[in-house]
Structure 1
Amino acid sequence: MSSKTIQGPAVTLIGCGFVADLYMRSLQSVPHVQVVGAFDIDPDRAEAFCSHWGVTRFTAVEDLFATLPRDGVVLNLTNPDAHFDVNRACLQAGFHTYSEKPLAMQMDQARELHRLAAEKGLLLASAPCSVLGQAAQTLAYAVRNNIAGKPRLIYAELDDGFIPQAPVESWISESGAPWPFEDEFRVGCTLEHAGYYLSWLIAMFGTVRRVVAASGQAIPDKKGVADAAPDFSVATLFFETGPMVRLTCSIVAQHDHQIRVIGDNGVLQVKKAWANGAPVKFHKRFRIRRRLIDSPIGRRVSLPGPTHPMVGRWGAASMNFALGPVEMLEAIAERRPCRLSSDFALHLNEVTLAIQNAGDHAGAQDMTTRCDPMEPMTWAL
C-alpha cells in the first residue's frame, strides 16, 4: 500500500495495547477517517489487534511512515515511558503527531518535542480529548455565559475507588489486550487522570501560573508493584485569570468524578468526567427566610444543536477517543490553528508533572509555560 492510494483524512496507530481498542471503537463513529494500519513492537499483539479490527499490520515503523500521507496523523498509543521516543521519531519523520497522555514523562523531553514540532511546522497534541466533548463544551458555554454568575471556586475530583483490590488481572480489551496494571501503577493516577479535568480548566481559563500540591502513596505495595508512583495527589491551582481550583486524584478514595463550579448565583455541576454526554446542571442559590440554599434539583444546561458522535459505554468510560485526531485532521485540512495545540499540550504536561512530583513537601511551583484559553467548538458557541 502507498500513500498515493489513500484518499481523505487518514490516521495510523503505533501501539496496539488496551487503549488502542478504545480508539478503534471511537474511530468507527467517524467513517470518513481512514485507519491506514497499525504497528506494535510485539508481533503477536499486533496480529491479534489488526486481525480483530481488519486493518493492515505494519511489521516495521518505517513501512508505516512510508504509507501514511503527509497530511495524516500518527496516533502514539504506546506505554507512557515510550511516549517521548515515539513522538520524537514521528516528528523527525515529518508527521503530525497525536500522543496518548502524558506527552512526555519529563519536562525537558516535552520541551524538546514542542521545539521540534515548531521547527518542522507540524501539529503536536496530546490526550485527553474529552475537552472537545459535549460535557466539557457545555460547561465552558455555561461559564462563558455566566449562568452561575462569576466563578469563584472549582472543586474537581478524579477518585477511582480502591483499585488495588479490583480484579485488574481480568480486565481485557476487545482484541484481547490486558489492562497494563503494573504500568498504570508505576506511572500513577495523576499522570494518567489529572488531564481529564486539567484540560477542561485550561481550555476555559488559560494559563495556570502557580501550583501548590502534595502527593504520596497511601498504599505502598499494589499487586506486587513496589516501585509505584503516588496513588493520591491534591493540588490548588492559581490561574492568571479565573477562579481558585482544588483538584484531587486517587485510586484509593471512593469513586467520585464530579466537577463543581461555584459562582455568585449558584453551582454548575458535572458528575461524570469520563462520559461525553454527561449532563451539566445548574443549582441555583436562593434564600428561604434566614437560610441560604443551593437548590438540590439542578436545571440542565443544553446546547442548541447536535454536537458530535457519541460512543457507547465500554468499561469505565463513555468517551469518543477520536475527537482529538479528528480535530487535528480538520485543522490540517482547513489550514487553521488546532484547538489541541502544542502549547496546550506542553502546559498541560507541566501542570500535571508539578502535581505528580510534589511529594510530601506541599510546596508552591510557578509554571514556566503558557497557554491561551481554547476556542470553543463551533457547535458550542
Structure 2
Amino acid sequence: MTGRVVLLGCGFVADLYMRSLAAMPGIEVAGVHDLNAARLKTFCDFWKVPAKPSFDALLNDAPDALVLNLTNPHAHYETTRACLMAGRHVYSEKPLAMTVEDARELHGLAERQGLILASAPCSVLGEAAQTLGHALRTGVAGTPRAIYAELDDGFIPQAAFTKWLSESGAPWPYQDEFRVGCTLEHAGYYLGWLIGWFGSVRTVVAASAEVIPDKAGQGPFAPDLSVATLFFENGPVTRLTCSIVAPHDHSIRVVGDKGVLSCNAAWDNSAKVRFARRMTVRRRLMESPLPRRVRLPGPTHPKVKRWGAAAMNFMLGPAEVLEALKQGRPCRVGGDFALHMTEVTLAIQNAGEHSGAQAMTTRCDPMEPMPWAK
C-alpha cells in the first residue's frame, strides 16, 4: 500500500486515524490543517507530521494527496465541495453532508469532475463485516429472513465525557456530538455492513426522538434515540436501533432458515462471528447454546489495538480509495454507496413521530467483497 494523504481538521477523531496509520506502512501524511492554530501545533508536534498554515497551502503543497475531511460535521458540505472544486479526491468522515440535497450535490460534482468521493465509516471493509458477509454468501445460516442490529451506547449524558481526551489531548466534542446526534454519528457502522451485503434500501419506516432533555452544551440537540425498520430491494427486513440512552449493546443477529449468525462488537474489526444452529430438543425449538465461530481461511488486514471504545482500523477507508485509484476501479465506499448510506441515515435521524414510510430516492449495488473474503 502506497500513497499520500492530507488531513483537513485535527480534532478528536484525527488521532484515531493517526493511530491506524501506524499499521498501514506506505501511506504518508503530507500535511495537516486546522483553523485552530494552537490545536494544529499540538497535534502535529505530537504525531510529527507537517502543519500547513492554510487550506490552500494544504492542497497546493501536496497536489497528489487524498484529502481526509475530518472537520466538524456541519462543515463537511462546504469543505468537501471546495476540495472537489479544486480537483481533489476526498474521503469524508460521516456524515457526507447534513442534508440529502447537499450530499446529492457533492455526489454529482464528484462524478462530473471524475473524482472519488468516499465516506466513513469503513468498518464494512473490516474482518468482522467481511466474515459475516462471506457467511451470508455461502449460506451458512440458510436464507436470511430478518436482522436485528443495535447501536446503543449507554446513558451517555451521565458519563464523564468532559474528561475524555484523545491521545494528543483533544477533548471529546460533546456539544457537536449531541447536536449532530447518535444516529448520524453511528448508524453507518451497521448500515454500511447491511448496504454492503444487500445493496439498496427500498423503504425506511422509522421513528426518532430526543428523550433526554437538558444535555450539556447549547442546543438545539438531535434525537438521542431512533428505531428503524429497513426494507431492502434484495435482502431481509432489518431493525436498527441507535441511542445514547439504552445500555451498551453493539450486537447484530442475522436470523436464517438454519440458525442465527451473530457478532457482538460493531467497533472491533476482530470481533468474533458465530453461528448457532437451530435444533429441536425434547420438543423444544432452540438455537444451539454452543455456537461455532465462523472464520475466513486466510490473513485479512492490518489490525489496530483497542483505544477507548473501539478497536478499528480507521485507515481502511482511505487505503481503499488509494487502491481504487491505483487500480483504476470503482471505490467500494465511494459514489453511490456513500450517497445512499447518507440518505438512509438522514431518513432515520429525521423521522420524528409521524414520518411513516419513506421511499429512498438513491440506489447502490452490493459491495464487491475484499479479495481476502471471496
TM range (shorter): over 0.9
Give the alignment partner of residue 335 of structure 2, picking from 342, 347, 368: 342
SS in 1 for 2:58: helix
Q: Relative to 1, partners in 2 of residues 1:8 and 1:205: Cα closer, same or farther, differing over 3 Å? A: closer
Give the alignment partner of residue 176 of structure 2, picking from 173, 180, 183: 183
**1:3 match:** none
Tell me, in whole angstroms, the C-alpha distance in 2 between the residues paired with 1:119 and 1:362.
33
Tell me, in whole angstroms, the C-alpha distance in 1 between the residues paired with 2:90 and 2:182.
24
Tell me, in whole angstroms, the C-alpha distance in 2 between the residues paired with 1:366 and 1:226.
30
SS in 2 for 1:30: coil
**1:61 match:** 55
**What are the residue-to-residue correspondences of 1:187-202 with 2, within 5 Å?**
187-202=180-195
Tell me, in whole angstroms, the C-alpha distance in 2 between the residues paired with 1:283 and 1:239.
24
SS in 2 for 1:48: helix
Give the alignment partner of residue 354 of structure 1, picking from 347, 353, 357: 347
Are residues 1:45 and 2:39 paired?
A: yes
Give the alignment partner of residue 96 of structure 1, picking from 79, 89, 95: 89
Amino acid at match of 1:346: L
Moved more, 288-297 or 89-98: 288-297
Question: Structure 1 stretches (4+) deviating beyond 2 angstroms?
Answer: none
Tell me, in whole angstroms, the C-alpha distance in 2 between the residues paired with 1:34 and 1:297.
45
**1:287 match:** 280
Tell me, in whole angstroms, the C-alpha distance in 2 between the residues paired with 1:379 and 1:215.
38
**1:320 match:** 313
TM-score for the superposition, normalised by structure 1: 0.97
Amino acid at match of 2:17: Y
Unaligned runs of 5+ residues in structure 1 are 1-6
Tell me, in whole angstroms, the C-alpha distance in 1 between the residues paired with 2:197 and 2:35.
38
**2:14 match:** 20
Aligned length in residues? 374
Are residues 1:117 and 2:87 paired?
A: no
Unaligned runs of 5+ residues in structure 2 are none
Amino acid at match of 2:246: A
What are the superposed Cα offsets for residues 284-306 of structure 1, whole Å, 9 maximum, x if unpaired? 10111211110122100000110
Are residues 1:246 and 2:250 paired?
A: no
**1:264 match:** 257
Q: Sequence identity, in percent? A: 65
Tell me, in whole angstroms, the C-alpha distance in 2 between the residues paired with 1:20 and 1:349.
21
Tell me, in whole angstroms, the C-alpha distance in 1 between the residues paired with 2:87 and 2:289.
53
CA contact (8 A) 1:39 1:59 kept: yes
Displacement of 1:223 in angstroms is 1.6
CA contact (8 A) 1:221 1:228 kept: no
Q: Relative to 1, partners in 2 of residues 1:224 and 1:42: Cα closer, same or farther, differing over 3 Å? A: closer
**What are the residue-to-residue correspondences of 1:25-174 with 2, within 5 Å?**
25-70=19-64, 72-174=65-167
Are residues 1:11 and 2:9 paired?
A: no
Give the alignment partner of residue 311 of structure 1, picking from 304, 315, 319: 304
Root-mean-square deviation (CA), in Å? Answer: 1.0
**What are the residue-to-residue correspondences of 1:270-281 with 2, within 5 Å?**
270-281=263-274
Amino acid at match of 2:269: N
